[in-house]
Amino acid sequence: MTTTTLDHAATDQGSSLKTKRVLLLKPRGFCAGVVRAIDVVQIALETFGAPIYVRKEIVHNSYVVTDLAKKGAIFVNELDEVPEGARVIYSAHGVSPAVRERAKERGLKVVDATCPLVTKVHVEAIKFAKQGYSLVLVGHRDHEEVEGTQGEAPSVTQVVSTVEEVEALVVPDPNKVAYLTQTTLSLDEARYMIEALKKKFPNIVGPHAQDICYATENRQTAVKNVAHGADVVLVVGSRNSSNSNRLVEVSQNLGTNSYLIDKAEDIKLEWLDGVDTVAVTAGASAPEVLVKDVVEYLQTKGYGSVDEVEVMPENVRFGLPPEIVQAIASAPQVSR
């Protein structure tokens, strides 16, 4: 496999007539928050032994969850399913204060794997609420991240998902409104929503830096840069992965057919009819092994040329949460 640049990819377009090819987007796949969350579960299993309970899916990817379950992680929907006094890990998407309080009531040993970029939004919600603002949270109501953020100030927070919902908003003081966004929104979607909010509430305030995370932005930017040179874009990711779904939307909005797949077996042959160039990317919670399987499958279908197209470098790393660092330092190692 060769690594190429966008310019190289563009000048090579004529060769697609001779060789069907794959454009493998970079950056793709795991973000720093996902790596950290998965590491937390694996280290907890190695340090304390199974079972380790995890509230919700640690990240939104079925392959990852199944793999960790095989190693001894037990995934639950609510803390009431966790035995009193047991150890539980919060997912990368964060939890509300009500969940934290319930953990205390049940005497649970908590390890918090919330992504630091989600924690940033929680801190902003608390700050704005304390300053007396009505909060508008742009995001998808049924997503765990939104539920957690809204829970920081539920009495003053309204969630909006469409411009129509923005227009219907009613707040006590239109001059005292703040907005926040889910970290995994489409950049374009967020921009339209924020523009609508500013039109309705001219004095609205927002975070100093955007809430949409670096990995979400980078993966969308990569798709935007490459979609025009592909006939089809395949996004590796699970159905409940917000950022993966947004990658599909970004491609489709640019007029390039795009499909979300969990694994290579999900690819339908009719998607490849008359297709010379397939771009492949992966959502921030999808492991590289699944991308590799997709590329190998495409190679069996005649896509013999694979070019990795790096749109931008990505070198973000997050440290482990203090609970797990302290636990590693003090706990006896489980014999293997």
Catalytic residue among 144, 145, 147, 152: 145
Q: Kindly calculate the radius of gyration of the chain based on its CA atoms and give it in whole angstroms.
A: 22
Written in H, E and C, the secondary structure of the chain is CEEECHHHHHHCHHHHHCCCEEEEEECCCCCHHHHHHHHHHHHHHHHHCCCEEEECCCCCCHHHHHHHHHCCEEEECCHHHCCCCCEEEECCCCCCHHHHHHHHHCCCEEEECCCHHHHHHHHHHHHHHHCCCEEEEECCCCCHHHHHHHCCCCCCEEEECCHHHHHCCCCCCCCCEEEEECCCCCHHHHHHHHHHHHHHCCCCECCCCCCCCHHHHHHHHHHHHHHHHCCEEEEECCCCCHHHHHHHHHHHHCCCEEEEECCHHHCCHHHHCCCCEEEEEECCCCCHHHHHHHHHHHHHCCCCEEEEEECCCCCCCCCCCHHHHHHHHHCCCCCC
Judge contact between 247 and 223, C-beta under 8 A: yes
Calpha distance 73→78 (Å, rounded)? 15
Identify whether 314 is a catalytic site residue: no
Q: Is 302 left (phi over 0), alpha (psi -120 to 50) or beta?
A: left
Query: What's the distance, CA 331 to chain centroid?
Result: 31
Q: How many residues does the chain have?
A: 336
Q: What are the catalytic residues?
A: 145
